[in-house]
Amino acid sequence: MPIYPKPSSGSESVRRLLLAVALPAVLRLGPAAHGAPDPACAIYPGAEWRDDRGAVINAHGGGFLRSGGRYYWYGQHMVEGEAGNTAQVGIHVYSSEDLCRWRDDGIAMPVSLDPRSEITKGCLIERPKVIFNRRKGKFVMWFHLEGKGSGYSSAMVGIAVADEPAGPFRFVRSFRPNAGRWPRNAPETMRTPLSQAELARLSGCKMNGGPSADFPIDLVFRRDFAGGQMSRDMTLFVDDDGAAYLFTVAEENATLQISRLTDDFLGVTGDYARVFPNGFNEAPAVFKRKGRYFMFTSGTTGWAPNACRLSVASSLWGPWRQVGNPCSGTDAQKASTFDSQSTYVLEVIGQPDLFIFMADRWRPENPPDGRYVWLPLRWRGDLPLIEWKDSWAPSNLHG
Ligand code: GAL
């Protein structure tokens, strides 16, 4: 069923007449046919969300891109059962003009059925993010990649490329970033490989992905100097000058690292900075407003939600300053980020000052039932606030 009536020809007045007559009917019919409770184009955070074919949208850990007047939503396609949290299908893509109604554009990057492939079925492909490279005219996808059966120990990025926003994306390569490079903000005294004594200390430390009293802060990035820095939860950010950056969770989850991408977006330049050493942040979502940079992160409790953290900076390289929990609501809502974990912040084109906080409500015991929590940011002075809404309309937020 087409979602929008498309006047085949005619003047503006004919178009308006058609819209006036047909659109309310379509708005009534569309969501009702898809099972949504409200007739308007609205977003229902945490509710089941269906696509244009009536299927539940399956795009977790999502990344977003606007291209050719449409929004594209890329995410992990998750299946039921024990294997559901691993990559069994690939990266799903949907597209929309209004952010409410999403067309299923299929699997943008399928897993490989070749057991020798790095993206073989059963590996982990998480948090895909897509940016457009003007220089080459290519759509470039980065994602968190873990080799099949390696748990979360590979800690790599994967890259895939496409000519069209909906793909197909062709896998290019995977790697750990910044091998053989020191962070731009590491003092000279730290720019040395680990000594025998430091290696011995490291081997006795507990590193289980979360904070611990004896966490060997400042040893892990030096350990990883030769082989490349670990990269787990990640996002991409393109600045106003067209330069792109990888924000990634490194150093056994202890430290965020920001890396400048090469001009073709197919690698890193080796210029990178450490942010919040020993801060144990995950799920970075980065955006810019009025010349300032903002980042939402979570703590490190796996699929279980925890409190959101807001950080701000006036330069992308930092210093970044953590300014607390941006959520407003009950204690339970604040402690769990409305039962979700950040994945992206989308700036809505054509709507003044509309940024959408996008997060996942993970359901690891039944992964496809994971939900999407999208909430418009409210601004209190220069800082964003996230408040619960049962529903809201992206086109009518300021109306
Ligand atoms: C979360 C992370 C997810 C996934 C999960 C696995 O903290 O943000 O992307 O990796 O852990 O436990």
Q: What angle do CA 119, 235, 330 make, to 5 degrees?
A: 120
CA-to-CA distance for 305 and 193, rounded, in angstroms? 36
Give the pLDDT of residue 396: 63
pLDDT in tens, 51-82: 999 999 999 999 999 999 999 999 999 999 88
Give me the CATH number covering residue 43: 2.115.10.20
Beta-strand (E) ranges in 122-208?
A: 124-133, 138-146, 156-162, 170-175
For a substitution probing ligand 1, which of 282, 296, 365 has the most ligand atoms within 8 Å of its CB? 282
Alpha carbon dihedral 110, 112, 113, 115, in 10-degree steps, equals: -160
Closest ligand 1 atom to 85 CA: 6
Residue 8 falls inside a structural domain: no
Task: Tell me how far the alpha carbon of residue 301 lies from the centroid of ligand 1, in angstroms.
Answer: 8
Closest ligand 1 atom to 61 CA: 9
Give the residue numbers spanning the domain of 47: 13-396
Give the pLDDT of residue 19: 35
Strands 60-67 and 124-133, by their bridges, are unpaired
pLDDT in tens, 326-385: 999 999 999 999 999 999 999 998 888 999 999 999 999 999 999 999 999 999 999 999
Residue 24 CB partners (closer than 8 Å, separation 6+): none
Task: Tell me how far the alpha carbon of residue 148 lies from the centroid of ligand 1, in angstroms.
Answer: 16
Shortest-distance Cα residue to atom 2 of ligand 1? 302
Residue 2 falls inside a structural domain: no
Give the pLDDT of residue 350: 83
For a substitution probing ligand 1, which of 143, 362, 363 has the most ligand atoms within 8 Å of its CB? 362
Contacts 24+ apart (CB under 8 A), 132-136: 132/65, 132/67, 132/165, 133/264, 133/265, 134/242, 135/263, 135/264, 136/264, 136/265
CA-to-CA distance for 340 and 83, rounded, in angstroms? 22
Task: Tell me how far the alpha carbon of residue 175 lies from the centroid of ligand 1, in angstroms.
Answer: 19
Residue 366 falls inside a structural domain: yes
Computed from CA positions of residues 119, 120, 122, 123, in that sequence, does the dihedral angle turn out positive or negative?
negative
Alpha carbon dihedral 216, 210, 285, 306, in 10-degree steps, equals: -150
Residue 7 falls inside a structural domain: no
Residue 146 falls inside a structural domain: yes
CA-to-CA distance for 292 and 315, rounded, in angstroms? 7
Residue 3 falls inside a structural domain: no
Average pLDDT, the chain: 90
Indicate the pLDDT class of residue 99, thresholds 50, 70 and 90: very high
Segment holding 77, helix H or strand E:
strand 70-77
Strands 383-387 and 327-328, by their bridges, are parallel
Residue 326 falls inside a structural domain: yes
The predicted model scores a pTM of: 0.90
The residues that bridge with 103 in the sheet, in sequence order, are 95
Residue 238 CB partners (closer than 8 Å, separation 6+): 131, 244, 245
Closest ligand 1 atom to 283 CA: 8
Residue 267 CB partners (closer than 8 Å, separation 6+): 159, 175, 261
Segment holding 110, helix H or strand E:
strand 103-110
Q: Ligand 1 pocket: which residues have CB below 6 Å?
A: 61, 126-127, 233, 282-283, 302-303, 341
Burial level of 300, CB count in 10 A (0-12/13-18/19+)?
Answer: buried
Yes or no: say if 60 and 85 are a contact pair by the CB < 8 Å rule: no
Task: Tell me how far the alpha carbon of residue 303 lies from the centroid of ligand 1, in angstroms.
Answer: 5
Shortest-distance Cα residue to atom 7 of ligand 1? 302
Closest ligand 1 atom to 152 CA: 10
Give the chain's domain count: 1
pLDDT in tens, 115-161: 999 999 999 999 999 999 999 999 999 999 999 999 999 999 999 99
Computed from CA positions of residues 200, 144, 340, 69, in that sequence, does the dihedral angle turn out positive or negative?
positive
Task: Tell me how far the alpha carbon of residue 20 lies from the centroid of ligand 1, in angstroms.
Answer: 45
Closest ligand 1 atom to 300 CA: 7
Give the pLDDT of residue 352: 83
For a substitution probing ligand 1, which of 126, 143, 208 has the most ligand atoms within 8 Å of its CB? 126
Residue 6 falls inside a structural domain: no
